[in-house]
Structure 1
């Protein structure tokens, strides 16, 4: 942006006021754009922090919850060792 200002100020025209018409609006528009980007960045950081807090809290509550008792249907699980291939030491 400094190059634009230098170009506008150092231009070949004699009428300096005509060269700078609209410059203030452009400067304020850029400042407003930067402030908007900063706000969006802050919202992103807040959203990530909130997601992290929710995840940690959810994990902590899961650790505190009581574990369910093993079901009598556990004989049908893969880890039961009742597969016909378990004696052959074949892993799937």
Structure 2
């Protein structure tokens, strides 16, 4: 079952190609051109991407800052599960 490597290579050289290579170079060059166009488009859109990230960051910081400021100005809510409630069951069980 062991075949000699030289014999296998000579059989491969004698065999006909299983597909035609006509137009192969043209297809490869089209792919290269398409890739080049994609890279140029990405470079052209890079400033827009950076600007959109900056806008998203500014919106997030502004919204987060406003939410933090609004929680500091509101009086604490008394709820059974709140840690600031003096009559919460957890504080009554401590025995202090």
- In the superposition, the TM-score normalised over structure 2's length comes to 0.41
Structure with the larger RCO, 1 or 2 (CA within 8 Å, 6+ apart): 1
- In the superposition, the TM-score normalised over structure 1's length comes to 0.42
Higher alpha-carbon Rg: 2
